[in-house]
Amino acid sequence: MDYNGFESKYGYTFRNKELLKLALTHTTYVFEKQGQHYESNQRLEYIGDAVIDLVIGRKLYDLKPQADEGYLSKIRSIIVCEESFAKVARKLNVGELLLMGKGEEQTGGRDKDSTLADAFEALAAAVFFDSDYETVEKVILSNLEETINLAIDGKIFLDYKSRLLEIAQMKDNQHKITFTVTDERGPQHQKEFDVEVYADDIFLAKATGRSKKDAEQKGAKAAISVYESKFGK
């Protein structure tokens, strides 16, 4: 596969292309080929998560010398999350490069937030192993620069659950918002949760996330527009 276009957008040219390939290998592709779990990008994702956490934490520490740890943690959680990683991965067309099983691809796997976020984290680890900390720091900050600036300026809002609950209580005819877990699947290290959102007994939306909290936030985000269309802004 020709990775030149991606490497140009990403801002890093890999010396070891096998590391790049590994970062883009989904577990379903490995299992379809009857391989082992460690041949997918999940181990790289584990390292990438830690590396990005450190890079962003240090950047915020330098940018906001007067901020306390509560503020820094809150802003970092907005930047270092599935949604922001998936958004950047889409800009890089990561989905087109992923190696994945046919079944996963047929069900929209190439554009799934969790899959794209995992790949983004795995790519960071691949750069780290292919070079050094200073290099991966530059690559991460370059790709997340817009997200960092928006988060600091307060222009990214991720607590959709609180927002939905607030909207529901603002109406003349107030509604009780509930979140119901309808399914839980996958191994312990890679679970997925399905959540449905209701206003009283009226179905609003459903979503899937890597944790109950993640699924609820995604469900709430989708439910806000549905709620407003049904009951008015």
Sequence-distant (6+) residues with CB within 8 A of 31 are 101
Report the alpha-carbon distance of residue 199 to residue 181 in Å, rounded.
15
Exposure on the CB side of residue 143, measured as CA atoms within 13 A: 30
The catalytic residue among 121, 130, 137, 216 is: 121
Q: Which CATH architecture has domain 160-231?
A: 2-Layer Sandwich (3.30)
pLDDT in 10s for each residue of the chain, 233 residues: 789 999 999 999 999 999 999 999 999 999 998 888 789 999 999 999 999 999 999 999 999 999 999 889 989 988 998 889 999 999 999 999 999 999 999 989 999 988 999 999 999 999 999 999 999 999 999 999 999 999 998 877 667 888 888 888 886 668 999 999 999 998 777 788 999 999 999 999 999 988 888 899 899 999 999 998 888 76
DSSP state of 171: S
The helix (run of H) or strand (run of E) holding residue 23 is helix 17-23
Q: What per-residue confidence (pLDDT) applies to 158?
A: 66
- Can you give the pLDDT at residue 171? 63
Domain ranges in the chain are 4-152, 160-231
pLDDT for residue 172: 65
Active-site residue 49, yes or no? yes
pLDDT of residue 82: 87
**What pLDDT is attached to residue 130?**
98
Cα–Cα distance measured from residue 226 to residue 203, given in angstroms and rounded to the nearest whole number: 9
pLDDT of residue 173: 66
- The pLDDT of residue 157: 65
Calpha distance 177→195 (Å, rounded): 13
Specify the pLDDT at position 230. Answer: 87
Quote the pLDDT of residue 174.
83
C-alpha to C-alpha distance for 226 and 142, rounded to whole angstroms: 35
Residue count of the chain: 233
Going by the DSSP 8-state scheme, the letter that residue 39 receives in this structure is G
Helix, strand, coil percentages (3-state) for the chain, rounded to 5, are 65, 10, 25
- Domain 4-152 CATH (choose: 2.60.40.420, 3.30.565.10, 3.40.50.1820, 1.10.1520.10): 1.10.1520.10
Cβ-based neighbours of 213, under 8 Å, separated by 6 or more? none
121 a catalytic residue:
yes
- Look up tokens 């959102």; give the residue: 197
The per-residue pLDDT for 89 is: 97
SS3 at position 101: coil
DSSP assignment, residue 211?
S
Backbone angles phi, psi at 87, to 5 degrees: -60, -45
Write down the catalytic residue from 49, 113, 137, 214. Answer: 49
